[in-house]
């Protein structure tokens, strides 16, 4: 398996990259289902917009 580790500027591991072919194999092997509700994209956008509002310094 060709797994690559992702790390931040300090060298701490922050994620893992798995090639799509290997991910598909793991999904079959472990019966992993990827189902996201249709509105998940809108919820993500709304959450990001709210986070940006909070992160902006007050003028």
pLDDT of residue 44: 74
Q: Note the pLDDT tens digit of each residue in 1-59.
A: 788 999 999 999 999 999 999 989 998 999 888 776 666 677 778 887 888 888 766 55
Distance CA 24, CA 22 (A): 5
Distance CA 44, CA 51 (A): 10
pLDDT of residue 45: 81
pLDDT of residue 11: 95
Task: Tell me the domain boundaries of the chain.
Answer: 4-54
């Amino acid at each position: 398996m060709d797994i690559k580790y992702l790390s931040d500027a300090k060298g701490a591991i922050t994620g893992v990259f798995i090639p799509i072919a290997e991910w598909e194999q793991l999904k079959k092997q472990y019966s992993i289902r990827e189902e996201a509700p249709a509105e998940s994209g809108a919820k993500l956008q709304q959450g990001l917009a709210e986070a940006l509002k909070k992160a902006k310094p007050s003028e």
